[in-house]
Structure formats: C-alpha cells, structure tokens
Chains A and B, each alone.
Chain A
Amino acid sequence: MQDSISNKVILSVSGLRKNFGTTEAVRGISFTISYGEMFGMVGPDGAGKTTTLKAVCGLLTPSEGQINLFGGKVIRSGKSTQRRIGYLSQRFSLYGDLSVDENLDFFARIHGRKDYKKDRTSLLEMTRLADFTTRPAEKLSGGMKQKLALACSLIHKPEILILDEPTTGVDPVSRRDFWMILSQLRQEGLTIIMSTPYLDEAERCDRVALFNKGTILKLDNPVRMKETCGFRVFEISTPVIREADDLIRSKFPFAPQLYGDRLHIIVEPGSKIPEQILHLLTENGIIVLSSGYITPSLENIFIKSTESEHAG
C-alpha cells in the first residue's frame, strides 16, 4: 500500500489553532499528508479531530496557523479547491425525504457534474445500494445511510476524501463493508483523511496521528509507532482481575491497563517489574492463567502517551 503514496504533499497544516470563545479546541498542530495516503486521526471526544477536519474543508476559519490544500491556502480557496474535496460529516447529513438516486443526483449537480450517470451506477454497485435507488434515505439502515453518504461525497470524483468518524454507530458488518470500500478507493489512489474513535481502524491507515486535548501526541505509521514506542507490554491473564489490579496498585507506583480478564503492564525494556508482579500475585494466592510480553497496541501507546503528558 505504501508504494502508491507519492512524495508530493496534498495537504499541509502548520501551527493550526482554533478557539471557540475561551475554549482552545486545537492548539497549534502541524502535519502534512501526501497524495494517495490514508491518514488517520485517533483520539477521544473533544480531542480536536473534527475541528481540524472542518478547518481543512474550509468550514471553520483557523484562529491561527495555515492550511494548504493542493498547494493553495484553504481560507482563500474557491470553487476549484472545493470541487476536489469529498467530505463526509460526523452525523448522517443527507436528505432523508429524498431517495438514494435523488440524493446522488443533487450532490452531483451542485458539484457541477453533467455526465455522472455512469459513475452513479458504479458507486451504487460499489456500495451495494443498486437495489435501493428509489428508497428514501431515511428508510435505509444505519450502515446503508453511511454508504450512501460516502457515495454522495464521491460522486464528483474528488482527489481527497475527508471522513469524520464515518463508522461511528454503524453495525460491525456494515463497518467491514465500509472498510472494504475504503480499501478499494485507497488502492485506486484516492487520498483519504479520516478521524475515528476506533484504534483498530486507525491501524489500517498509512499514518496515524494520536490526538488529545487539541494536540497531536504522536504521528507515525502504526507499525513503526509500535516498534519505536520505547516500552514493552507485559500481559497477565487472571480470573480475579479486580483483586490483582488492586494489589498491583497498592504495591507499585503505576496502574495496569485492564482488558477483560487481562492486565497490561507497560514497562521499560529489560525491567524486572514483570517478575516482581508475578511473584507478588502468586504470593497472595492470585491465580495467573498466562503471562508474557505482547506487541504494544495503538491503545497502549495512546494511554501511555496521555499518561506521560499528565506526568509532564
């Protein structure tokens, strides 16, 4: 996938800051995206992902900083730039009382497209909506609605697709379908920038920016991010997770991360802490089903980064 990414920059964000009254939604972030790249933005609600995407689309005016898209400033961009952007907002925002076909027709026409019928057919096939063309959008399932919204944002053949949490609230099957479409678009060379609260989705991106409180904590390729995170994750599986967690917290100056019946302990490479913890648990009669080092996940990295930020 990496091969199709060009070195040419399609989007460059520099020192972006956005305030809403006294609230700082985005605090001076910078990043660039290359043509053909799939760029993910991950972080909790209120981290600044949506604000950043809206500023990139030209929906919000930055308080400070500069955004260059296709080599020109977004703030001054006109028709020509907007014609090259496909945008899918966080919530379903199509006309519920219009049919699938009518929604597609409308968005094609306001983008000034005349010969769009062929593209409409292929988009309907790609999104598996071809059998529902006359159905009002409000009567579609959540997943189908998102696929229709995606089709509407692609009908004018954009060069960059901006997706704001496109799969939030969508069922797992539709989510999988949605990602298959995104993978296909990615292979066709479309640049995709998306925000998501799901770390498993972020792992599929070429590069990921971890957002928190309006700043970017880390930005890299997900694999490289895991390799260079500078820590190891020791996983312990136990049927008495709460007792184990309480015991570790009482004896060590850190808190384990809890995942179902497993505890994740982030340690420095070569640290003796895992052995000490295992000893502590067995000494106190806590059964350990399995234990060992695992590859850090993006979630581990995100949590570790936010902890470091707090500590810093």
Chain B
Amino acid sequence: MIRTILAIIVKEFQQFKRDPKMFGIILIAPVVQLIFLGYAATLDLKFIRLAIFDQDNSRQSRELVKELEAGEIFIVEKYLSSYSELEENMQSGRILVSVVIPDDYEKKLLRRETANLQLIVNGSDGNAASIATGYLSKFLSMYSQKYTIHLFEESGMRPPPIGTIIAEPRVWFNPLLVTRVYMVPSIVGLLLSIITLILTALAIVKEKEIGTYEQIIVTPIKPYQLILGKLIPFIILAYAAALIGLAAMWIVFGIPVKGSFSFLLISSFFYILSTLGLGLFVSTISKTQQQAMMIAIFAVLLPMVYLSGFAFPLDNAPLFVQIVSYFIPLTYFFVVIRGVILQGNGFIELWDEALIMLLMGVLILLASAIRFRKKLD
C-alpha cells in the first residue's frame, strides 16, 4: 500500500523537478505576491489631497488654510475660484476633499457665531472618503478648541475650568493600527489556499487531459492510494510555501509569529484538508485544466475569500452572509492565523476553531474522495 503511494509521490516530485517554472510558481511566486500584496493591501491613508475654495479670503480664512497645510496629513493641491472649477477637479478624481470657506466666515467668527465650512468629499472610494472626513472633522474640532482658547486669551480672560472626557486608547496587537499588520498574515493563509486548491485540481485534471489517468486507473491502484499519492506532494509544497511566506513576513514586514508555532502548523494542516478536498472535488467535475482553473477560482476561491472576512469585516455584513461565512473553513483559518501571529494565541484560545476546521476538512475530503471514482463514465 505504502509502496504504491510512494511511487506516485516520487513521480510527482520527479515531474516538479523537470518543470522549474512550476517549481518557481509554487515556491517563489507566493513570496513575491506576499511582498506586493503586503504593500498594496493597505487601508491606511497617508496623504489627503485637498482643494480650497476660499470665498471669504479673509485673515481668518487664510489662517485656517495655513494650519491645514502645516500638518503632514493634508496636501492642498488646488486653490479654487468657482464652483465649476471645484466640480471639474472633483470629477477628475485628483482631489479627495474640497473645503469651501463661505464669504461670511470671518464675519461670523468675529460676531462669536458658528461658522459653517462645507466639505465636499469624493465618495467613489468609500473607505478613503470616510477616513478623510474623520481626519478633517478631528482637525476642525481641535482647531475650533484652539480658536476658543485664543479668544479667551485675547480678551484677557482665562477659559472656565470645565471637566472633559478624554479617551486614552491603547491599541493592542497592532499599536499603530497599520492595515498591513492585519492583512499580511491573512495573505499567507490565502496563498496556502491557492496552492492547495488550484494545484490539486489542476494536477488531477492534467492526468485526465494527457490520458495518463486512463492508464493509471487500469492498474490495481486503489482510489485512496491515488488520492493520497496526489495530495501528499501538495501538502509538502504548501507547507514549504507557507514557511517561506512566514519567513518573508518576519524579514520584510517585521511581523513575527507571536503565538504557538506548532499550533499554527497543526491547524494549517486541518485547514488544508478542506482546500485539498475542494481541489479534489473540482477535479472530479472538470474535464480540462482550463475548466478546473475557472471553477476553482470563480466558484470556490473568490466566494471563499469574499465571505471569510479577508477583505470586509463580517460583523457588519448582512445576517445571511454571516451565516454562510460559518460554513467556510477560511473564516476560521483567518481567526487562527491572526490569533496566533498577532495576538500570540495558541491551542487554549483557538482549539474550537481548529476543531471546526478539522471536522470540515475531513468531511469535505471524504465527500470529494467518494465522488472520485476509478472510472471514465
């Protein structure tokens, strides 16, 4: 039994060895992707491009603009002179926020009245828009406070002693709230999914396509031996890619594995049981590699990624999406991978997720193995 499985494993590695491109795709591409995605997959906004439409053009309005420019967050790209110019700049997408200062801005401030500023935000990138609005609101609130103190000082009075509530946030696990820290470990998980799912599906369908599958199934080999022989090399390669990915994550992004490394390896195995199973399933319903690739990506991988909390937080998703996400193994794997790498967790905190992944993996793999027959019809 073991000799037969070994024969297939040896054959698979001989074929890998003969195909350096494939070897590169499996082991080097993940690291390159990790680095690129690590830099690209960030929700942080470093610069906010502003346009100023100062209708007042007063000392006070110029003071406000000077303050805006003084910081490192806002960059004033344009000074506008009309609404049509404002519209044109917003339309072109060069400006994220246009600040409109009304012509009675200074007058109102001098009369100790509330002066309203208009912020016109480009909402086509909702995430950037909400971050920019938040930054600007915070800036204007601080500027307003500063102005009030200035008024008191100008009139020779002291501001009345009033109690204020100040929040002092201490962010754990990702103190600087850098998106990359949150995303990179998930990308490692994603790469593991891609390697195991797509390569498994392709490897088996390739045998069907070139006719070797027909030749193999006439031999006394049992379906489980064939499945194990085909899957074990991908488990080994997936671990190799994951270890390279984790090393790159540490070296390039300075994100080490804080928690139990052994638990991460074991739970990764539980997770890839389901992706290998799904790859096997795709191979049973595909006749060509092209078909397998399309099914693996569009019918399995993308829905899995969208509904597992990789890109969007599931807490805000509609109830049915949340329910669906409970049936996706990647949802649990993201919890595990982030928990172990960022929060320093291990078996005690994450055993239930690991158990769910194991059960799901065994079920998916078994169901796919049952579908996998040593027949052509």
Tell me the A residues contacting B by CB distance below 8 Å.
20, 54, 57-61, 78-80, 82-83, 85, 87, 89, 91-98, 102, 105-107, 109-112, 114, 136, 152, 156
Contacts and interface: CB of A to CB of B under 8 A. Distances in A.
A93 B214 contact: yes
Interface string B336-377: 000000000000000000000000000000000000001111
A59 B3 contact: no
B227 interface: no
Q: Is chain B's interface secondary structure helix, strand, loop, or mixed overall?
A: helix
B220 A83 contact: yes
Interface string B1-45: 001101110110011001100000000000000000000000000
Interface residues of B, number: 27
A93 to B, nearest CB: 3
Interface in B112-161: none
A111 B377 CA distance: 23
25 contacts: A58-B218, A58-B374, A59-B214, A59-B217, A59-B375, A60-B376, A78-B220, A83-B220, A93-B210, A93-B215, A94-B212, A94-B215, A98-B15, A102-B14, A105-B7, A106-B10, A109-B10, A110-B7, A110-B219, A110-B220, A110-B221, A111-B219, A112-B3, A112-B4, A156-B219
A106 B7 contact: yes
The list of the 7 closest CB pairs from A to B, nearest first, reads: A93-B211, A109-B7, A79-B220, A87-B218, A97-B18, A82-B220, A93-B215
A295 B19 CA distance: 56
Contacts of B8: 110
Q: Is chain A's interface secondary structure helix, strand, loop, or mixed overall?
A: loop
A98 B14 contact: yes
B222 interface: yes
A109 B14 CA distance: 15
Given A89-B214, A89-B215, A110-B216, A95 B15 contact: yes
A165 to B, nearest CB: 13
A80 B18 CA distance: 34
Q: Which one of B214, B222, B375 has the highest number of Cβ atoms from chain A below 10 Å of its Cβ? A: B214
Contacts of B376: 54, 59-60
Contacts of A87: 215, 218
A25 to B, nearest CB: 10
Nearest to B221: A110
Given A79-B222, A82-B218, A110 B15 contact: no
Nearest to B218: A87
Contacts of A112: 3-4, 220
A20 B211 CA distance: 20
Contacts of B216: 110
Given A97-B15, A109-B4, A109-B6, 16 more contacts: A57-B218, A59-B217, A82-B218, A89-B214, A97-B14, A97-B18, A98-B11, A98-B14, A102-B11, A106-B11, A107-B215, A110-B4, A111-B220, A114-B3, A136-B18, A152-B215
Contacts of A92: 211
A106 B212 CA distance: 12
A110 to B, nearest CB: 5
Interface string B209-250: 011101111111110000000000000000000000000000
A38 to B, nearest CB: 20
Contacts of A78: 220
Contacts of A85: 218
A78 B219 CA distance: 10
A105 B7 CA distance: 9
Q: Which one of A20, A57, A92, A95 has the highest number of Cβ atoms from chain B below 10 Å of its Cβ? A: A95
A80 B222 CA distance: 12
Nearest to A20: B377
A143 B332 CA distance: 54
Contacts of B14: 97-98, 102
Nearest to A86: B218
A29 to B, nearest CB: 18
A110 B375 CA distance: 17
B11 A59 contact: no
Contacts of B222: 79
A78 B220 CA distance: 7
Nearest to B16: A97
A17 B11 CA distance: 37
A92 B217 CA distance: 15
B318 to A, nearest CB: 42
A51 B172 CA distance: 66
Contacts of A57: 218
Contacts of A111: 219-220
B265 to A, nearest CB: 30
Nearest to B6: A109
Contacts of B215: 87, 89, 93-94, 107, 152
Nearest to B222: A79
Contacts of B7: 105-106, 109-110
A231 to B, nearest CB: 40
Contacts of A80: 220
Contacts of B375: 58-61
A180 B214 CA distance: 26
A102 B17 CA distance: 13
A94 B19 CA distance: 16
